Amino acid sequence: MHFSLIDILSLTLSFLGINGIVLSLRYLIPCYIIPFLSVHLHKTQQLLSQAEGIDAVPQGSEYRSRLDLYEYLYFSY
């Protein structure tokens, strides 16, 4: 099997293109995932506040501290 120069060049450019797409996705994906997770975190915090309000969950529970920790670690800008 003999590959011509054009075939080798085409294959090389294809690999570079795939590598470029993978590297750019690494920066694009957090732009979509972080707002999605942020919405769910705030919904969970609201539900926990309601549960604490009706004494279904004690005030200052481990759930509240974990949610506050997640918010601090991942969503503090």
Domains contained in the chain, number: 1
**CA distances to 9, 28, 32 from 17, in Å:** 12, 16, 22
Q: Grade residue 77 by pLDDT with cuts at 50, 70 and 90.
A: low
Residue-wise pLDDT for 24-50, tens only, equals 777 766 666 777 777 888 888 888 889
Q: Which pLDDT does position 30 carry in this prediction?
A: 67
Q: Which pLDDT does position 29 carry in this prediction?
A: 67
Question: 51 burial class (0-12, 13-18, 19+ CB within 10 angstroms)?
Answer: middle
Question: Which domain range does residue 51 map to?
Answer: 5-75
Q: Which pLDDT does position 76 carry in this prediction?
A: 62
